[in-house]
A and B are shown apart, each in its own frame.
Chain A
Amino acid sequence: MIETRCYVIALHDNGRVAEETYETAAFARRYVAADPCVVVLSGGGEIEPLAGRLADRTGLTVIGLAGDIVREYCAEAYTASLISFLRKKGNAFVCIPHTARGIDFAPQLSVGIGACCITAVEGAGEGTFIRSVYSGRFRSEVRPETPSAVLTVMPGAFKPEKGAMQGPGSVKIVPLRAFELSTKTRGTREAVHANMTLSRAEVVVSAGRGLGSAENLRLVEMLSGIFPKSAIGATRGVCDLGWLDYSHQIGTTGNTVAPRLYLACGISGAVQHVSGMKNSQLIVAINTDPDASIFRTAHFGIVEDLKVFIPLLVDMYREKHGDGDA
């Protein structure tokens, strides 16, 4: 425990608090300060219910920064408002969920308050924080050398606390000063690539770059073919290469799936991918690289060349089932 002043920045969308906010609050209480404050930014009408909900669930003091400039999420408005709020408070650790929005303003905020910035924190030691590096092959343990720090906390790395043990926390609303923004927000658009087949499938067979080439996708199709309600998924890397279109993408910025079986073929196991499939009931990974981090997520791992192993597996299955289609 660092025992310093600590602020948890709440993120929310359409009046709903992002679950990662509660994970970040739990992290802050466990490793940074026993009694952090939660800060939530929103427009006048929405701020009280949001702050009230946060106070009820966390039992922590909640500060609502209210103003029209933060009615919608906007990095520029968030950064400037938080800098002016935090500068008055002296040294502090600021904990933010490591989501697309959290990471959008965290580094600028750190510059503005003279803090160090540590992103994607997934663990902590004695005054140190642990994050994955080198494609998840290693972790690095880093120590802030400044009295202030901005930390972004990896989604799923810490469990939210169950209910407020000490009863609801107090709420304080602080009006924000308006100022001219260079940013104009224009709302959000729903996912272009939502894939219903993937979300309904009982079995998802997914392809990673380790497949080697687009031609080898037939192996994934072959394997998927032995399961009745299956669909084909992919990592972002595979979609970026154009082997499959983005509707197949699984991960932070793609589809999130939780099928009965997830078969990861040639997937290294980058955190962005894993966050989209880690709740699958059974995870099996096949990869030539025994050190691939996907083997830490998988319940069962097989170190084999996909080009050899998949045809063998499918043949053995068909022999047993007398399936003559092959």
Chain B
Amino acid sequence: MKILVCVKQVYDSPDTLVFNESSGRVEFGSHTVFRMNRYDEYAVEEALRIRERITGVAVDAVSVGPDRVRKTIRRALEMGADHGIHIRTGCETDLDPLERAHLIASLARGRRYDLILTGVMAEDDMQSQVGGLLAGILGFTCATGIISLEMHGNPREILLEREIEGGRRECLTLGFPCVLTIQSGINTPRYPSLSHVLRARSEELELIEAPSPAPSPPLLSVKRFLLPEEGEKGEIITGTPGEKAARLLSILREHSLL
């Protein structure tokens, strides 16, 4: 069985982002540190757990982006993935989910993956799209928000539970090939072991250059970025810490909460 895990590199903290007033774009600041999207860590872990349970499983990890994303692919190798693939794009800014999905699909098409895993969403653009788009492009079935995944023996299908509103779960069985987007909490992503870290260091990443410009024009354009709406904020209590505490206590008393 061949598994592809799609991992995205995101900023570690939104505090380091800078709004460029003149261009109307959001840019990474000089202090921005990058890491793997947390939801994708659960997807990598789930792929590794499948490999531990079933014989003959190979796990590839792929990421799309500029050279800095190599660090995130390496992280997947350090966790235990067998092979890392970098689809290199020239641009530093975030790609549209559809462009991303097309790039991954053109890689996946020739490689006969049985299972493609990715996180339920990216922490940065919060689109929750790449998994579903990939499935649509490749003609795979797809299930999102997976919180439980079971496969036995020589599997021809997967038993799944998806998380829906209010913590309820939808139970289903899917055949192969399929795309699953993994919800956080399905497992506890491992820390890389020393032996894997050493192995990953010597491992070559496969490099694929993304065609530039993209073969098809994007289906939508980002007009601009906006700050959150003003005037929505509640009252920010100011003063010394002691004054703030006194004010909060009096507010709580006014509301008969204390």
B109 interface residue, CB < 8 Å from A?
no
The answer to whether A303 touches B141, judged by C-beta atoms less than 8 angstroms apart, is no
Contact residues in B for A253 (Cβ distance below 8 Å): 145, 163-167, 183
The number of chain B residues touching the other chain, given as a range, is: 35 or more
The answer to whether A182 touches B167, judged by C-beta atoms less than 8 angstroms apart, is no
Q: In the complex, which residue of chain B has the Cβ closest to the Cβ of A155?
A: B165
Contact residues in B for A289 (Cβ distance below 8 Å): 15
In this complex, how many residues of chain A approach chain B with their Cβ under 8 Å: the count is 101
Looking at A36-44, A49-57, A184-192, the stretch in contact with chain B turns out to be A184-192
Q: Which of B17, B126, B188 touches A120 (beta carbons < 8 Å)?
A: B126
- Inter-chain CA distance A120–B125, complex, in Å, is 10
- Inter-chain CA distance A308–B241, complex, in Å, is 8
B137 interface residue, CB < 8 Å from A?
yes
The answer to whether B248 touches A119, judged by C-beta atoms less than 8 angstroms apart, is no
Contact residues in B for A173 (Cβ distance below 8 Å): none
B191 interface residue, CB < 8 Å from A?
no
Contact indicator per residue, chain B 71-111, by CB within 8 Å of chain A (1) or not (0): 00000000000000000000000000110000000000000
Contact residues in A for B124 (Cβ distance below 8 Å): 133-135
Q: Which residues of A from 61 to 100 have beta carbons under 8 Å from B?
A: 73-76, 79, 99-100
| Closest beta carbon of chain B to A313's beta carbon, Å | 4
- Inter-chain CA distance A119–B178, complex, in Å, is 22
Q: In the complex, which residue of chain B has the Cβ closest to the Cβ of A193?
A: B167
- Inter-chain CA distance A220–B162, complex, in Å, is 31
Contact indicator per residue, chain B 167-181, by CB within 8 Å of chain A (1) or not (0): 111111111001000
Contacts A108-B142, A190-B168, A253-B165; A133 near B234 (Cβ below 8 A): no
Q: Which of B184, B219, B229 has the most CB of A within 10 A?
A: B219
Q: Which of A105, A142, A192 touches B132 (beta carbons < 8 Å)?
A: A105
- Inter-chain CA distance A299–B127, complex, in Å, is 28
Q: Which of B131, B136, B249 has the most CB of A within 10 A?
A: B136
- Inter-chain CA distance A312–B135, complex, in Å, is 53
Q: In the complex, which residue of chain A has the Cβ closest to the Cβ of B125?
A: A133
Q: Which of B135, B168, B223, B235 touches A143 (beta carbons < 8 Å)?
A: B223
- Inter-chain CA distance A317–B125, complex, in Å, is 42
Chain A interface, DSSP helix/strand/loop, else mixed: mixed
Contact indicator per residue, chain B 219-258, by CB within 8 Å of chain A (1) or not (0): 1111111111100111111000110111011011001011
Contact residues in B for A146 (Cβ distance below 8 Å): 219-220
The answer to whether A140 touches B241, judged by C-beta atoms less than 8 angstroms apart, is no
- Inter-chain CA distance A234–B188, complex, in Å, is 18
Contacts A105-B132, A261-B257, A304-B244; A139 near B226 (Cβ below 8 A): yes
Which A residues are within 8 Å of any B CB, using their own CB?
Answer: 73-76, 79, 99-101, 103-112, 115-120, 125, 128, 130-146, 149, 182-194, 202-203, 226-227, 236-237, 239-240, 242, 246, 249, 252-256, 260-261, 271, 281-284, 289-291, 293, 295-304, 308-309, 312-313, 316-317, 320
Q: Which 7 A-B pairs have the closest CB atoms?
A: A111-B136, A107-B132, A116-B219, A191-B167, A186-B171, A108-B136, A100-B164
